[in-house]
Amino acid sequence: MYPKNEPNRMRAQSAAFRIWQELEHPHPCEILLEHLAASRGVFVQEGGMTGAEGRLIRKKDRGIIRASPNSKYPGRRRFTIAHELGHWELHNGQSQFLCSQEDMRDYGRSPMEVEANHFAAELLMPSGHFRTACGNELPSMSLIEKLSDQFQTTLTATAIRYADVARHRVIVVWFSEGVVKWSYSNDKHGLPYVMAGREPPKYSSATLGIDELANEMECYEDADWFPELSYSPEVLEETKRMQHLNAGLTLLYAP
């Protein structure tokens, strides 16, 4: 049983899975999210919101989702709608949610936001379809980018979904403004967390300039991602810089 102040990931993912059962498991890109939302009593509108990416307003058995239009990053808009649908399905005790980009990218924030993220991930990247798409390829940023294109999802959400679903042991690390904000891995793999609030380790891919980054997984022998451990697991790593956010996403693979 999940503690009250901890996100219930299983409940969130199960709620999204039941929707795909009702729809008889189509590929998620075959479903228009606006139509799916309408079938649940929720109507999607577009419109800019200051300081927010999405909003849900609930009135009894009807709701309105407002999502910021985003032609440059359509995966972000899809995730926004799915995230707000997660609030609709999971959190009926609250009449309104106003969600920022950080709420949808940060898996260390409020439990309800984390649950909505896990719901959205299962809705947009159902485990059966996603495992098939992963195939037998080893972890790499190019694989994450390919899956992101295939499922029309954000790179960060896709990387986290890969960590949850794939058989390979990976840790996803998000850093911005030179500081680690969070790390994520599947608890079943028994991997350590990269501690938030500190700088990425020296001599790692996360400290390289964008022109110095390799387009493949590499071993950085002098990079210590787990200085608090007496023995650190050997990892391969690859980083994707996101200059428009002054941030980066690092994939750590423990063979």
Beta-carbon contacts of residue 247 (< 8 Å; ≥ 6 apart): 174, 175, 176, 177, 241
Q: Which of 138, 149, 156 is nearest to 236 (CA)?
A: 138
What domains can be seen in the chain, in order of their start residue? 9-124 (1.10.10), 129-253 (no CATH)
At residue 7, the pLDDT reads 81
Instruction: State the pLDDT confidence band at 72, using cuts at 50, 70 and 90.
Output: low
The yes-or-no verdict on residue 71 having pLDDT over 90 is no
Pick from 16-20, 104-108, 164-168, 233-237: least confident: 104-108
The yes-or-no verdict on residue 48 having pLDDT over 70 is no
Instruction: Please provide residue 238's backbone torsions phi and psi, each rounded to the nearest 5 degrees.
Output: -155, 140
Span 153-167, average pLDDT: 93
Block residue for tokens 């059962």: 21
Span 144-170, average pLDDT: 94
Measure CA of the first residue to CA of the last residue in the chain; give whole Å.
31
For 20, the 3-state DSSP assignment is helix
- Measured in whole angstroms, the distance separating CA 139 from the mean position of its chain's CA atoms is 16
Residue count (the chain): 255
At residue 4, the pLDDT reads 53
At residue 232, the pLDDT reads 80
For 84, the 3-state DSSP assignment is helix
Cα–Cα dist 254/36, whole Å: 38
